[in-house]
Structure 1
Amino acid sequence: MTTVFTGRIRPFAPSTDIEVEAMAVDDATIVAVGSAEEIRRTYPDAKMVALDGWVMPGLIEPHGHPGFAAILLSDLVVDLRPVVVPQAEDVLAALRTAVAEADGEPVFANGWDSLLQRGLPDPDIRFLDDLAGRVPLVVIHNSGHSVYFNTAAALAAGIDRTTPDPVGASFGRDAEGELTGVALEAAAVEMVVAPMLATAQEHLPRILPAHLRDLAARGIYAQIIARHGLTDHRFRLEHCGAMTPAQFERAASLGFTVSLFVDHITYWGEVLVDDLFGPEHGGAWADAGAAFAAGHRVTFHNDGWVTPDEPFRNMAVAETRTTRNGYRMPGGSPVTRDQALLAHTVNAAWQLFSEHEVGALAPGLFADFIVVDRDPVTVSSEELAATQVKSTYVAGVRVV
């Protein structure tokens, strides 16, 4: 049965500034867009649905980690991320509480970030042994590239001084070769968190759908792509924080595309400039304007659990290059509204080889769309960042 949706529709095809009144959907697919009068005349027997708000294509997260994010954001893990627990003393208090309530069971926590949670101690094995005693304690760094663990956690994971460093990763060791309580990079991290992953596997039927529902409520849907075109490979560089305009141009000349973690600016902007790289390199971090200028079909992402899934804020910060504290980055170039919107829709679909399925609202594409509370094309950057998703439709069916 055909359904005709009416409202203020931004189809993003052929451009983001187009507005239409109606969209006809049949068997999960858009069959027509245009004026309400024209669509009603063409489909007189269709079911009519009036949408309250502005309609736009569903947002695409091109660099997600849904499985691991579902675990780290679940009730199996203590959430220490600085976006949730900004103060160092509260991080330590949360760990002590979790250990006290663990009844001897392992405690896994995620989000330790001494750059943002100022005043955190060095979480070496002695510190964590003092904090947790015989309770296995594993604390995952906010980046996901390292973990800290105590002696009991090392024993539970089967790791000791004789454990060799896996390829491409390492365990911290002191001058005598004893473990210092840190694992660096994925292969070593996975060895330490293996007990958590084993437990989480039993809970995935519960926690993964819950995480995907949360993404849908934010207007984001995930796809698993199993197609590879070697003549049109669309190889992609991820995050791209420190890339210069010349490097973006070289990447484009080699046939690569890029996806930027612009939310680094929101949360770490001052740290990037003042503590890590200085104004020349840190100030131009995640230079999305330069990436677009080099000819890339740029996308934005939030990197799983590291920052909240906030695509509209990604768009806004790429326009303003301003942190959550109001600090304006001293370098880099802003993007236009058209570029910002394309980064989470049309361009993301293209990077995932799905431009024939999603990314815009046009005949032949799936009816995957969201209804938001303001016009994403005309509002200010500040208002864009605060956009709320009122409902989400997948294949023409409301899911949120």
Structure 2
Amino acid sequence: MMKNKLVALLMMCSVPYTVLAQTTVIHNIKGYTPTQKGELETFATLVIKDGRVINRGKAQLSKSYPDAKRIDGQGKVLLPGLIDAHGHIIGLGQNLMQLDLRGATSVAEVGKRLQAFAAQSEQPWIIGRGWNQELWPGKTFASAADLDKFVSDRPVVLSRVDGHAIWVNSKAMELAGLDSEVTSPAGGEIIRTAQGSPSGVFIDKAEQLITAHIPKHSEKALATALDKAGQHLLSLGITSAHDAGIDFDTWQLYKQRAKDNNLPLRIYAMLGATDDKLETMLKAGKVDDNEDMLAIRSVKVYADGALGSRGAALLQDYADRKGHRGLMLEDQQQLEDIFSLCFKHGFSAHTHAIGDRANQIVLNAYENVFKRTGGILLRNRIEHAQIVDTDDIPRFKALKIIPSMQPVHATSDMHMAEQRLSDSQLAGAYAWRTFLEQGSRVAAGSDFPVELANPFHGLYSAITRQDHQGLPEQGWRPKELLTREQALRAFTLDAAYSAFQEFKVGSLEKGKWADFILVDTDIIHAPVQQVWQTKVLETWLAGQRRYQRQPAL
């Protein structure tokens, strides 16, 4: 008898904490959740146990659980944890530790920030990100000579805000062994001086002429970047992020951290198609851990560049650069080869395509491969789908391609897009509502650190198509506005669907993980200008509070 009791006790001790966890009732809340039925439901009480939702309902529901731990939500708004369907987690973490040039309005301001950063940094290479020539007088690229005025003794490599161009100093070009004889690689462009020498700006695949010489990050540095990014994302109410393109080292880090049960948030990671160990990672198989903290079952493919650096591949000339139609980083046959490789191993293909030509070529490649080998049910995605020929939009639905889009891109790009593109080219631009109305699911994200990771900025952009000053008054190309319910669904349940996770996360329905946030604004009914200013008060992951906002002093 004593032996049986001892065995029972030992078995209890070996059970994970979540299995023994007490039922928790969070009451006095104003809850919203999308549902699989397509509705936005409201509730006043949420009941969780073992890290999952076991019930939700009206205020009186809390009386059905007299022995539960009770938490008074004090009338706060409760939402499902938000999902960013397109970001770069390690890049965000590194960005938080590197020179930040976001918002710099001149070369002189960049130089001032660079000088100050260099004075307190002992790093052999100075790395930064965030410059945008569209904010400068003249809106033209600067040169290595401009950076040399501020730092000339160490190599400087500064990424454009979209990550599709770098601006470097002369020391960086010297260490890379570049001179006037160097030629632009396929899928890349070297901006040159009037004398024909590299100016210091390298676009898309030309970046590799420089970046191949930057010392690799250590395992410790990658882990630190992951933790910093995780803390930041949780503070913004993001409980799950889709990491758009990871390398082999990050793949190893994520798997080990998942094994050790210490990932900071849920991660759906896409393998980088350009990584030289792609096949090694594919052959290792899909990753889907029991706690749903890590999923790896897709590959990130790049088709073209970005609009800001005129690398997005267009069907017609750029309105502000005649004779130029952008850059395809892979041709259609190369894309078909990559897709076939992905599908062979059961992985989805998520392809970056911004320009209308790139989107068309990518759709053609998907269609051809589907006919030959299948793969149409793998929830393949086009990342960004920013500028799409109106005749190609219905093909997304026909080919079951998910448009993975970033609403904040429209409001940050709108002035530039009007300069870069003609009215006919813009007819299918940032066309979220058109996609939804044809029955496509839009997976929403931010593309952090290209944009700020704050999802409430994205929600605001989706429902207003305005800047934070409320301009333009009716919104930019307002026929593509989303309702508040549609926008919330794009950042929750539809983003989860795009990762095969709609029955695990994305809404607060029975049996799903209890990932939720408490916020200070009723984003469904508050004046619209308050939406982007929403503050996250608490973030819960699998029924555990992982972030709590500290009161202002």
Q: Distance in 1 between matches of 2:215 and 2:436?
A: 39
Moved more, 8-17 or 253-262: 8-17
Corresponding residue for 2:25?
A: 4
TM-score, normalised with respect to structure 2? 0.65
Deviation at 1:107, TM superposition (A): 2.0
Within 5 Å, give how 1:221-240 maps onto structure 2: 221=239, 222=241, 223-224=267-268, 225-227=295-297, 228=347, 230=375, 232-240=377-385
Q: Distance in 2 between matches of 1:234 and 1:92?
A: 44
> For the Cα contact (< 8 Å) 2:90–2:225, is it kept in 1?
no
1:10 partner SS: strand
Corresponding residue for 2:401?
A: 256
Deviation at 1:127, TM superposition (A): 3.4
Moved more, 192-201 or 295-304: 192-201
Moved more, 237-246 or 174-183: 174-183
> For the Cα contact (< 8 Å) 1:280–1:331, is it kept in 2?
no
Q: Label 1:203 to 1:157 Cα distance change in 2 as closer, same or farther (>3 A).
A: farther
The letter of the residue matching 1:346 is L
> For the Cα contact (< 8 Å) 1:99–1:135, is it kept in 2?
no
1:44 is the counterpart of 2:69: no
Corresponding residue for 1:140?
A: 159
Q: Distance in 1 between matches of 2:168 and 2:34?
A: 48
Within 5 Å, give how 1:108-123 maps onto structure 2: 108-119=127-138, 122-123=141-142
Moved more, 298-307 or 373-382: 373-382
2:147 partner SS: helix
The letter of the residue matching 1:226 is I
Corresponding residue for 1:306?
A: 450
1:318 is the counterpart of 2:462: yes
Deviation at 1:129, TM superposition (A): 3.5
Q: Distance in 2 between matches of 1:39 and 1:203?
A: 46
> For the Cα contact (< 8 Å) 1:88–1:119, is it kept in 2?
no
Corresponding residue for 1:363?
A: 510
Q: Deviations over 1:70-113 (max 9, x none)?
A: 11232xx211112xx34543223222434455579432221121
Q: Distance in 2 between matches of 1:146 and 1:49?
A: 49
Deviation at 1:181, TM superposition (A): 2.3
Within 5 Å, give how 1:264-275 maps onto structure 2: 264-273=409-418, 275=419
Deviation at 1:282, TM superposition (A): 4.1
2:54 partner SS: strand
Corresponding residue for 1:61?
A: 84
Deviation at 1:239, TM superposition (A): 1.3
Give 2:109's match in structure 1, choosing from 60, 85, 90. Answer: 90
2:404 partner SS: strand
Within 5 Å, give how 1:121-200 maps onto structure 2: 122-157=141-176, 168-169=187-188, 171-172=190-191, 178-185=197-204, 187-190=205-208, 192-194=210-212, 196=214, 198-199=216-217
Moved more, 386-395 or 192-201: 192-201
| Count of residue pairs the alignment pairs up | 393
Q: Distance in 1 between matches of 2:47 and 2:171?
A: 60
Deviation at 1:16, TM superposition (A): 4.8
1:17 is the counterpart of 2:17: no
> For the Cα contact (< 8 Å) 1:269–1:323, is it kept in 2?
no
Q: Deviations over 1:243-302 (max 9, x none)?
A: 2443221211111110222212322322221x2114444476312111111211112221
Q: Deviations over 1:10-29 (max 9, x none)?
A: 13224553211222211111
> For the Cα contact (< 8 Å) 2:141–2:201, is it kept in 1?
no
Corresponding residue for 1:289?
A: 433
Q: Deviations over 1:166-206 (max 9, x none)?
A: 66445456798754323221x54345235656246542332
Q: Distance in 1 between matches of 2:394 and 2:30?
A: 38
> For the Cα contact (< 8 Å) 1:71–1:200, is it kept in 2?
no
> For the Cα contact (< 8 Å) 1:267–1:324, is it kept in 2?
no
The letter of the residue matching 2:534 is T
Q: Using the aligned pairs only, state the percent identity.
A: 26
Q: Label 1:116 to 1:283 Cα distance change in 2 as closer, same or farther (>3 A).
A: farther
Please, which runs of 5 or more residues in structure 1 have no aligned partner?
Answer: none
1:265 partner SS: helix
TM-score, normalised with respect to structure 1? 0.88
> For the Cα contact (< 8 Å) 2:87–2:447, is it kept in 1?
yes
Give 1:344's match in structure 2, choosing from 487, 491, 501. Answer: 491
Q: Distance in 1 between matches of 2:195 and 2:460?
A: 50
The letter of the residue matching 1:21 is A
Q: Distance in 2 between matches of 1:147 and 1:216?
A: 30
Please, which runs of 5 or more residues in structure 2 have no aligned partner?
Answer: 1-21, 242-266, 269-294, 298-346, 349-374, 548-553
1:383 is the counterpart of 2:530: yes
Deviation at 1:348, TM superposition (A): 0.4
> For the Cα contact (< 8 Å) 1:265–1:323, is it kept in 2?
no
2:429 partner SS: coil
> For the Cα contact (< 8 Å) 1:16–1:341, is it kept in 2?
no
Q: Label 1:197 to 1:340 Cα distance change in 2 as closer, same or farther (>3 A).
A: farther
Moved more, 11-20 or 108-117: 11-20
The letter of the residue matching 1:18 is E
Deviation at 1:207, TM superposition (A): 2.8
Q: Label 1:331 to 1:59 Cα distance change in 2 as closer, same or farther (>3 A).
A: closer
Corresponding residue for 2:337?
A: none
Deviation at 1:386, TM superposition (A): 2.1
Corresponding residue for 1:242?
A: 387
Q: Which has the higher contact order (CA 8 A, sep 6+)?
A: 1
Q: CA RMSD in A?
A: 2.8
Corresponding residue for 2:290?
A: none
Q: Distance in 2 between matches of 1:332 and 1:240?
A: 17
Corresponding residue for 1:209?
A: 227
1:398 is the counterpart of 2:398: no
> For the Cα contact (< 8 Å) 2:134–2:140, is it kept in 1?
no
